[in-house]
Amino acid sequence: MLTLGPQGIRFCSQSGDEQFEVPTIAREVFDVSGAGDTVAAAFALSLAAGADHATAVAIANRAASVVVGKFGTATVTPEEIFQDADVPRLVPRAALASLATTLRAQGKRIVSVVGSFDILHNGHVHLLNEARTTGDVLIVGLRSDTSLRSSKGPERPHVPEQQRAEMLLALLLPKGSET
């Protein structure tokens, strides 16, 4: 696992067969002291508790986002890590099954939409707003740049995957909140 500062966390399993990146959870940063230690500790604790790699990285990422929002070296509690669980965020594909299981156990109705969202338009906004009203949790699947190139040609996408994800997050945030 490699912390990338404001770019998030990169994970590669020992065998190399599992690799992914998780972007940071944007929030106001006061002090980055101890953020890397927090990531390592939260990741190790999550694995010890039985979490898979994707879930452990997601928890470590959330823990770091809490710690950097505090002054000086600080601790983080489980409540702080999970208090914003309903805030829109990027979740790696590998963590979706675990997340869905957790949400269903909480009695949440999950709605999902998948698309490229390459050049957002009013139809996308309408689709997402309607989908959001039909359940408790909306999961938006975003097609990768590679997937778009393979189906729509080498000139696609017009907007890179990371930027499309950031626009979707901004669009889905409740009014007056920040991730």
CB-based contacts of 26, cutoff 8 Å, min separation 6: 178, 179
d(CA 107, CA 26): 28
Q: Within a 10 A sphere around the Cβ of 40, how many other Cβ atoms? A: 14
Angle at Cα 116 formed by Cα 114 and Cα 124, nearest 5°? 75
Q: Which residues are known catalytic residues?
A: 37
CB-based contacts of 41, cutoff 8 Å, min separation 6: 63
User: For every residue of 158-175, which 3-state class applies, written as one string?
Assistant: CCCHHHHHHHHHHHHCCC
